Structure 1
Amino acid sequence: MIHSVVFDVGETLLDDTREFAAWADWLGVPRHTFSAVLGAVTAAGHDNALTFQYFRPGFDLNRERARREAAGHGERITEADLYPDVRPALSALRSSGLWIGIAGNQTTRAAHLLRQLALPCDAIATSGEWGIAKPAREFFDRVAEFAPGPRHQILYVGDHRDNDLIPARAAGLRCALVRRGPWGHLWADQVRRDHLADWVVDSLTDLADLLTSQRQPPS
């Protein structure tokens, strides 16, 4: 029985299309080109951050984030960035008695922006606040401290095989893949075939239906 559900952020709750486009514009490269290289980096099994090095060798992500902020093009997260199923799914899960958390590889500022959205959840944290990022085991140990319940009753939901599913399971958590975004679509079939997740779903609404039905007493 699942007691707590913790969600990744990018391409799980948030559609990253606008943010990817903002980085392409900042680098001065066509958006399609940036997305294509990002896809190639992902398919090769490399960290997403390598994408920037192809366009600007020696690229420092933290420094460029600060430069974007100073130029008035900093990080933004708005209601329009949420996938349409986020609020109804989180609300349904929370109403069923599950504890709902959000924890992903985002900045401290992103945590502030997410909290401003007043999502139906119990707590929000980011790697920037914790000082440790996925796929490090320490990140998922923090998730296990963050969410109530024993590890085998904590479900981590994400879109990324290597950053979400494999390390969450190695840390003793349950895991689910949402099939969306470049990584969710790329790896969904393999995740199913190799049984790398407890569930593979096409939407958060599907996940909510699965989990809430398991919590209902038999008629």
Structure 2
Amino acid sequence: MIRAVAFDVGETLVRDDRYWTSWADWLGAPRHTVAALVGAVVAQGRDNADALKLIRPGIDIATQYAAREAAGRGEYLDESDLYEDVRPALAALYAQGVRVVIAGNQTARAGELLRALDLPADVIATSGEWGTAKPSAEFFARVVDAAQTEPGETLYVGDHPANDIVPARSAGLRTAHLRRGPWGYLWADTAEAAAADWRIDSLHDLTQIVSGAG
């Protein structure tokens, strides 16, 4: 039985469009160039931040992030950044009586912004707040603690096979691979994605999974 559902954030709940276009504008690079380079490094299995290093070799991303914040051009999220199925799907799960956790590889600031959206969730946390990031086992131990259930009763939902599906399964959680965003589409047919307990195209599919009908 699934008693808790935990969600990745980027390209699972939130579109990354604003994040990358804001970096492009800050660095004075064409938005299409940044998007293309993000896709390229993703296809190579590299960290997506490497796209910024290709545009500006030697960049100190943490320093530039702080400079953006100081200039009033920092990280930002609002309702328009959510995928359309997020709020109704989370509300439906909440109504089913499962515990809803949001936990992904984001900054502490992103955690604040997500909580300000007042999503139907019991816990919203980020790697920046926890001090540990996916795909580490410690991150998924924190997810289980937040879920307040056994690992096998916790379903982790994400788009990134290597960061979400494989380490969550190794930690004993059930998994659902979401075919969404660059990672979700590009790696949908990999063995890592196929190892998920469920493969979904919409968060609405989760209500049937939780009820046992999926």
Shorter-chain TM-score: which interval?
A: over 0.9
Q: Which amino acid is the alignment partner of residue 197 of structure 1? A: A
Per-residue CA deviations over 1:2-59 (Å, capped at 9, x if unaligned) read: 1110001111100111111111111211111111111111111111121111111122
CA distance in 2, matches of 1:92, 1:108: 27
The alpha carbon displacement at 1:195 in A equals 2.8
1:29 aligns with 2:29: yes
RMSD over aligned Cα, in angstroms? 1.5
Equivalence for 1:210: 209
The alpha carbon displacement at 1:213 in A equals 4.9
> Which secondary structure state, in structure 2, belongs to the residue aligned with residue 10 of structure 1?
coil
Q: Which amino acid is the alignment partner of residue 89 of structure 1? A: A
% identical aligned pairs: 57
Which residues of structure 1 form unaligned runs of 5+? none
Which residues of structure 2 form unaligned runs of 5+? none
CA distance in 2, matches of 1:9, 1:59: 25
Per-residue CA deviations over 1:57-91 (Å, capped at 9, x if unaligned) read: 12222211111111111111101101110011001
Instruction: Using structure 2 for the length normalisation, give the TM-score.
Output: 0.95
Equivalence for 1:116: 116
Equivalence map 1:163-178=2 (5 Å):
163-178=163-178
Instruction: Using structure 1 for the length normalisation, give the TM-score.
Output: 0.93
Per-residue CA deviations over 1:161-198 (Å, capped at 9, x if unaligned) read: 11111111111111111111111111112258x63211
Equivalence map 1:69-218=2 (5 Å):
69-191=69-191, 195-214=194-213
Equivalence for 1:10: 10
Count residues with an aligned counterpart.
214
CA distance in 2, matches of 1:185, 1:208: 22
CA distance in 1, matches of 2:207, 2:91: 9
Q: Answer whether contact 1:93 1:212 (CA < 8 A) is retained.
A: no
> Which secondary structure state, in structure 2, belongs to the residue aligned with residue 189 of structure 1?
coil
